[in-house]
Amino acid sequence: MIRSIPIQMILLVFLIGCSDPSPNLVSPDGHIRVSVGLDGEQSFNYSVFKDSQPVVLPSSVHLEFLEQDPFGRGLEMKLVSDRQVDETWHPLWGKTGEARNHYNEYRIRLSEKKGEGRTIEWVVRIFNDGIAFRYIFREDSGFGEFKLTGERTEFNLGADHMAWATNHGSYYSSQEHTYDKRPLGEIGEDELVGCPLLVEVQETGWLLITEADLTDWAGLYFIADDSIPGKMISSLASLKREPAVKVAGKSPAESPWRVIMVGNDPGDLIESNMIANLNEPAEYADVSWIRPGLSAWDRWWSGDYGPDAGFELGMNTATMKYFVDLADEMDWEYMIVDWTWYGNVFVDGEPDPDADITTPIDAVDIKGIISYAEARDVKIILWVLSDHLDRQMDEALALYESWGAAGIKVDFMDCDDQDMVNWYQEVARKAARHHLVIDFHGAYKPTGVSRTLPNMITREGVLGNEYTKWSDLITPRHTVVLPYTRGLLGEMDFTPGGFNHIRQEDFVVAGGDSPNPYVMGTRCHQLAMTVVYESAFMVICDSPFNYRGQPGSDFLKLVPSTWSETRYIGGYPGEDILMARRSGDQWFVGGMTGEESREAEFHLNFLEEGIYTLTLWRDADDSDLNPGHLEKESYEVTAGDPVSLKMERGGGFVMILEPGSPASE
């Protein structure tokens, strides 16, 4: 269902005739309000209020250009249109099976009073869970071809509010860094803060600032204003081929949405589909070939001896079949054949110029592996280096389809300048012609474009489990911050499921007598990631040897990778999180705690009336000393029943709730 109707018609008639209307713009439920106006320099500014309390203080907008005057002062503004949209749509995969897209939209034309008389339309959509705005350069805007050198969109938030911010340090990175908790006013002016920026607004609520529909534009970052603590200013990734330029465009053009999600608690942000809503529907008429699922992965373990394999694991056909067998045993849909299957990837730190991604090395029988997997209803994903794919894209994608591969894992882009953003979408569209899904690694954060191009089934852009092989950064605190920050943006390939556990204080990097990577915290902490983290292509990181016959591996056979409904139960960034997700008539609940033990206490209020069988995997009584231990039990519950259980340090739990009483013995 979709409705598009005028809002406040009398107000609109009045405002269209005014040069400086200073209107108040509201959400459908009236709780969020945006105030816009012109200051003494006739610069446009906006403010955001939640229940009459300011959450974004007056913030201005200025655009800077190469060989054109800046735009932002000496303006007049006019509200030229408004409308209300209320529609529902059905995501192919993600946090819900149905999404409501409900907002009020206002278009304000900003025009220069003097000079060239250029115009930009500032379009704002106000949802019940936040606002989003973008800049539109109409064909008659007066800009023609332009080179944007700076977008200075302000987010004036207040110095004392607590923030969780990641410093990428450069526009050219894999966006794999921690989110550090500190007052906004302590963010240094030399930091390059990435999306998202999570803010706890004192006594008012929560904000998450990011972008949506990043298309033919540069990726968004933030820098601190050096004169007003707590004010963040947008900064765009520079073009690698022309570093002085951020965006090379031509009217008509439009920026991505600048998103400010607003909630009473973090759960309002986690449950929201706002980012996806700000993107266009799927371009593909047929999406039946896009298949969510779990995947085995050889790279976290390969190169070491598998005691139950009988051979040295490595990039060879036997190893790939060994991991296909795991996917088959676990009823997982996929297995990744990772790097070096076509030979050298890098030479002296640079992409091997002689690499051929259409020719496997002698030790790898790709067609044989794919055939072996197909016989077991397992699909194969092939790893490729982005530079190599760019050189052989059309030939390789057609060949992979002919081999029967299901998709590609594309790695080491490490950039979100305008050219790279466009390259992602080129890859997605060309891959779709060959019915190939994509897992982007060395990637930038999601912006909801996977609604439009749903074969982009997951991406990295996260400090994930692979870092346990060489660092101590994957702490329980970090893993419990992620659901409130990077995880909020959408599909996240963290690669959970490590089964070689160690206490945080005992952690060592793998090597020597312990080649198998360790993970900090308990087994239930890793299991809970498969519920708490969102990824339609959920890559499970450990080896067949570590899963076979191990407590908790039975849960990994049951958990799905896409959801009908998502409910946040409670928690706080870095401390704990409790989340429930429904798949069909089953509910999966996951809990994770940070660096302190906690009691998880909640009610089963998300259940419909009736009797359910609750199957629980929880930290064992000795999990603090032996983090690989867990206990499993089943019992009968009814809707609304209380639940109370202990999560150890770096611990957690998972449970499945199914309608009906437990089967009798």
76 inside domain: yes
22 inside domain: yes
- What pLDDT band is residue 314 in, cutting at 50, 70 and 90? confident
494 inside domain: yes
Give 272 or 6, the one with higher predicted confidence.
272
Per-residue pLDDT at 511: 62
Residues 451 and 491 in one domain: no
Say what percent of the chain tops pLDDT 70.
94
Q: Identify the DSSP state of 51.
A: T
- What pLDDT band is residue 6 in, cutting at 50, 70 and 90? very low
Residue identified by tokens 């429904």 is 582
The chain-wide mean pLDDT, for the chain, equals 93
Q: Which two tokens stand for residue 30?
A: 């009236």
Segment 31-44, tens digit of pLDDT: 999 999 998 889 99
320: nearest Cα among 307, 306, 331: 306
CATH of the domain at 119: 2.70.98.10
Q: Assess whether pLDDT exceeds 90 at residue 410.
A: yes
Residues 243 and 338 in one domain: no
Q: Assess whether pLDDT exceeds 50 at residue 11.
A: no
User: Alpha-carbon distance 491 to 33, whole Å?
Assistant: 30
* Contact criterion met (CB below 8 Å) for 216 and 418: yes
Q: Assess whether pLDDT exceeds 70 at residue 659.
A: yes
**Which of 115-119, 309-313, 531-535, 659-663 has the weakest average pLDDT?**
309-313
Residues 312 and 427 in one domain: yes
Q: How many domains does the chain have?
A: 3
21 inside domain: yes
Q: Assess whether pLDDT exceeds 90 at residue 4.
A: no
Residues 257 and 298 in one domain: no
Give how far Cα 211 sits from Cα of 4, 325, 430, 634, Å. 24, 41, 25, 43
583 inside domain: yes
Give the range of the structural domain holding residue 82, as residue numbers without chain letter: 2-277
Question: Per-residue pLDDT averaged across 58-71, rounded?
Answer: 96
Residues 487 and 391 in one domain: no
- What pLDDT band is residue 2 in, cutting at 50, 70 and 90? very low
* Contact criterion met (CB below 8 Å) for 293 and 562: no
Backbone angles phi, psi at 555, to 5 degrees: -65, -35
**Beta-bridge partners for 99:** 89
Per-residue pLDDT at 17: 34
Per-residue pLDDT at 662: 85
Residues 176 and 322 in one domain: no
Question: Among 225, 246, 277, where does a domain finish?
Answer: 277
Per-residue pLDDT at 313: 81
Question: Among 256, 277, 298, where does a domain finish?
Answer: 277
Q: Assess whether pLDDT exceeds 60 at residue 396.
A: yes
286 inside domain: yes
User: Alpha-carbon distance 26 to 7, whole Å?
Assistant: 10
Residues 439 and 387 in one domain: yes
Report whether the peptide linkage leading into residue 256 is cis, meaning its omega lies within 30 degrees of zero: no
Residues 267 and 392 in one domain: no
Residue identified by tokens 């529902």 is 88
- What pLDDT band is residue 517 in, cutting at 50, 70 and 90? confident
171: nearest Cα among 440, 414, 424: 414
* Contact criterion met (CB below 8 Å) for 411 and 441: yes
337 inside domain: yes
* Contact criterion met (CB below 8 Å) for 119 and 142: yes
What type of residue sits at position 498? G
Question: Among 407, 435, 461, where does a domain finish?
Answer: 461
* Contact criterion met (CB below 8 Å) for 449 and 215: yes
Residues 399 and 470 in one domain: no
Report whether the peptide linkage leading into residue 252 is cis, meaning its omega lies within 30 degrees of zero: yes
List Cβ neighbours of 182 (8 Å cut-off, separation of 6 or more): 162, 163, 165
475: nearest Cα among 575, 579, 378: 575
Residue identified by tokens 């429930």 is 580
DSSP per-residue string spanning 193-222? EESPEEEEETTTEEEEEEEE---SSPPEEE
- What pLDDT band is residue 21 in, cutting at 50, 70 and 90? very low
* Contact criterion met (CB below 8 Å) for 237 and 416: yes
Segment 256-306, tens digit of pLDDT: 999 999 999 999 999 999 999 999 999 999 999 999 999 999 877 655 555
Residues 262 and 305 in one domain: no
* Contact criterion met (CB below 8 Å) for 240 and 172: yes
Q: Note the maximum CA span of the chain.
A: 85
Beta strand 130-137 with 119-127 is: antiparallel
Give CA torsion, residues 544, 546, 551, 557, to 10 deg: -30
Residues 193 and 108 in one domain: yes
Residue identified by tokens 């998450």 is 208
Give the Cα-Cα-Cα angle 366, 371, 376 (nearest 5 degrees).
Answer: 125
CATH of the domain at 416: 3.20.20.70
User: Alpha-carbon distance 500 to 10, whole Å?
Assistant: 66
Per-residue pLDDT at 665: 44
Q: Which two tokens stand for residue 581?
A: 């997700």
Residues 208 and 77 in one domain: yes
538 inside domain: no
Segment 41-58, tens digit of pLDDT: 899 999 999 999 999 999
Question: Per-residue pLDDT averaged across 125-136, rounded?
Answer: 98
